[in-house]
Structure 1
């Protein structure tokens, strides 16, 4: 499969949130989004904005850094937000039930390198890096499957 890729600059946290809010309603069960970037790159901010855009009822959206997984009921079904930073490897991911969730829920995964060979080939990768100004982020979206061609069409400039 050939990688497809788009790179864009998000000029502010509000710009990051707006993109997440536009993407959220387009997702469905089985969609996996892998969020990469260093600490403070904007992964959790993006995830919170995306989750907020699809929640059935407004609720607190804590970081899953210590709980490892937060599960939400959304308009599109169950959404799992996981942070794998503290895990040692793929066996821990299986124990969390994450591989099953990849098939039945929308999944947002921070620190997806811990998945190793469990990484779904159908996933959308979002890579966050420091941008040209303090609050800006360069975002690189990478995918293999045609599903994301349709979802991302017109979403990212």
Structure 2
């Protein structure tokens, strides 16, 4: 069941929690009114990961993608201050309860160049790692595992955020 904080949309507007494949990753739509709530939602997701999950994050610059990731990594026992967006290095690796790869493809062209630049196939071969990809649309139709979630963050500036978390279907995840 979704937590009251961050505030989920009303029951009629929110989906049930995903319980497929043994995962307890919450799915649905949340409204967060400040960065701490976005971080708390990320932490809720992070507590549910077991290894092998991939999170595709999209949203405008400044929407809170990295803040969400800081919450997720905090739940893995990774110091929040150590987590930063790898805009120039492309990939940051962190070790906590699980290995965590944080990718930022903002500066990459779309398609195979992005996937080769970050060696995505190699990262995905670590079945116990958790991977979060900012600007994931840059990977194009790269095949992804069935344990892939899409996290869409809408809003910028001081406006509340609308965060949608959905598990990709097997046809979407395979590319």
Q: TM-score range, shorter-chain basis? A: 0.7 to 0.9
RMSD value, Cα = 2.4
- Where does structure 2 lack aligned partners over 5 or more consecutive residues? 1-17, 19-26, 171-175
Q: Supply the distance in 1 between the matched residues of 2:48 and 2:167 (Cα, whole angstroms).
A: 16
Aligned length: 141
**2:163 match:** 139
Given that 1:13 and 1:135 are in contact with CA atoms closer than 8 Å, whether structure 2 keeps it comes out as no
Does residue 26 in structure 1 map to residue 51 in structure 2? no
Given that 2:71 and 2:80 are in contact with CA atoms closer than 8 Å, whether structure 1 keeps it comes out as no
Q: Supply the distance in 2 between the matched residues of 1:20 and 1:100 (Cα, whole angstroms).
A: 25
Greater helix percent: which structure?
A: 1
Deviation at 1:61, TM superposition (A): 1.4
**2:58 match:** 36
* 1:26-65 matches, cutoff 5 A: 26-55=48-77, 60-65=82-87
Given that 1:13 and 1:136 are in contact with CA atoms closer than 8 Å, whether structure 2 keeps it comes out as no
Does residue 127 in structure 1 map to residue 152 in structure 2? yes
Cα separation, partners in 2 of 1:96 and 1:26, compared to 1, 3 Å? same
Q: Supply the distance in 1 between the matched residues of 2:54 and 2:152 (Cα, whole angstroms).
A: 14
TM-score norm. by structure 2 comes to 0.71
Greater strand percent: which structure?
A: 1
* Higher RCO structure, 1 or 2 (CA under 8 Å, sep 6+): 1
TM-score norm. by structure 1 comes to 0.78
* 1:96-107 matches, cutoff 5 A: 96-104=118-126, 105-107=129-131
Given that 2:58 and 2:136 are in contact with CA atoms closer than 8 Å, whether structure 1 keeps it comes out as yes
Q: Supply the distance in 2 between the matched residues of 1:141 and 1:121 (Cα, whole angstroms).
A: 16
